[in-house]
Amino acid sequence: MLSLMPIQVLETLAEMRALPKRRPRAVVMTMGALHDGHRALLQSARKWSGVDGELVVTVFVNPLQFAAGEDLDRYPRTWQQDLEMCEQEGVTAVFAPRVDDMFSVGRDITLDPGPLGEILEGKARPDHFAGVLTVVAKFINLTNADAAVFGEKDYQQLALINRMVQQLEIPIEILSVPTIRDADGLALSSRNQYLTPQERQAAAVLPAALSAAVEVAATGGGAEDAVVAAEKELTANELVVPDYVVVTDPLLGPAPEHGDARILIAAAVGGTRLLDNAALHLETR
Ligand code: AMP
């Protein structure tokens, strides 16, 4: 049985700091517009903290991770539905601070993600990961959580958060959850709402590209062959403009000759940037 305590909505940093911690506490950080991918994170966090444990969800569209001209102003906001999902999943408290409260003490100190923040998404969005890490670190401190759960959907973000926590000795356990997908394989994302019906259909080439690469790797192809197979699928639909298709090792270093690897892709569908990734096992000998 989950606790019958009503969900607490915390709107200020002072309220968050004042929330007494009586049991192990897990946190799930989101930008709202919650979908079943977020739900999987909530369930994993609840499993970690236990039926009597505490589960805090942050809802904050972080302006530091958006560049000028990106979708900050039109990012979907579905507060009532978000709250309903949190209630269904037995969330203890939802922390949804206002931007001015979050940064009332200033925002000139930021975290430098290092070289791993300059490749892939970091290349396309130069200050993105500095903004992500700064706010993730701030939420770790504010929520005083013992564990935090992130999605593999944002694989580079997950890798950077793991690195940050390790290198800065931040006392928190990081857990991850595999990507939750729609029936046709498209990774769930709040940004899928931007797609027209035609674009939504076209977007299915992203998971198809990953599947093609996984297949090639499993049947003896190398990293390059996997990339070629994925690119072929991605370019099959004219509404899809690939940005990158890259195979790396699981920590985003150079692709191995054989063994565990990761394929990461980004593509624009209409005006919407979509990301996806998958584990590969390179069976080359
Ligand atoms: P966002 O609200 O998009 O910032 O995402 C909040 C968290 O949910 C991040 O850890 C994401 O990686 C995770 N997430 C987003 N989409 C999915 C998905 N389809 N499956 C699993 N986790 C996801």
pLDDT tens digits, 53-106 = 999 999 999 999 999 999 999 999 999 999 999 999 999 999 999 999 999 999
Cα(221) to ligand 1 centroid in Å equals: 30
Q: Which two tokens stand for residue 177?
A: 């959850």
Q: Compute the distance between CA of residue 22 and CA of residue 129 in angstroms, rounded to an integer.
A: 32
Among residues 177, 212, 241, the one where a domain terminates is 177
Q: Is 208 in the same domain as 77? A: no
Residue 25 placed within a domain: yes
Q: Is 71 in the same domain as 171? A: yes
Q: Which two tokens stand for residue 132?
A: 């992500």
* pLDDT in the model for residue 284: 76
Pick from 41, 57, 81, 275 the residue to mutate for probing ligand 1's pocket: most ligand atoms within 8 Å of its CB: 41
CATH number, domain of 149, equals: 3.40.50.620
3-state secondary structure of 284: coil
Torsion of CA 12, 102, 133, 140, to 10 degrees: -30
Q: What residues make up the domain containing 195?
A: 190-279
Contact 160, 135 (CB under 8 A): no
* pLDDT in the model for residue 1: 47
* pLDDT in the model for residue 4: 56
Residue 146 placed within a domain: yes
Q: Which residues are catalytic?
A: 38
Q: Compute the distance between CA of residue 114 and CA of residue 201 in angstroms, rounded to an integer.
A: 37
State the amino acid at position 24 in one-letter form: P
Q: ∠ CA 182-58-82 to the nearest 5 degrees?
A: 50
Pick from 85, 154, 160, 174 the residue to mutate for probing ligand 1's pocket: most ligand atoms within 8 Å of its CB: 154
Q: List per-block mean pLDDT (blocks of 10 residues) for the chain, which spans 285 residues.
A: 75 98 98 98 98 97 96 96 97 98 98 98 97 98 98 98 98 98 98 98 98 97 97 97 98 96 98 97 85
Q: Is 141 in the same domain as 46? A: yes
Where do runs of H (alpha helix) occur along the chain? 13-18, 36-49, 79-88, 99-102, 121-124, 128-143, 155-167, 197-202, 205-218, 223-234
Q: Is 165 in the same domain as 134? A: yes
State the amino acid at position 218 in one-letter form: A
Q: Compute the distance between CA of residue 158 and CA of residue 218 in angstroms, rounded to an integer.
A: 25
Contact 101, 13 (CB under 8 A): yes
For the Cβ of 188 lying below 6 angstroms from any atom of ligand 1, the answer is yes
Q: Is 141 in the same domain as 211? A: no
Which of ligand 1's atoms lies nearest the C-alpha of 154?
12
> What are the two backbone dihedrals, phi and then psi, of residue 116, each rounded to the nearest 5 degrees?
-65, -20
Q: Is 166 in the same domain as 258? A: no
Cβ contacts of residue 9 below 8 Å, gap of 6+?
A: 83, 93, 94, 96
Q: What total of structural domains would you count in the chain?
A: 2
| Helices (H) then strands (E): counts for the chain | 10, 9
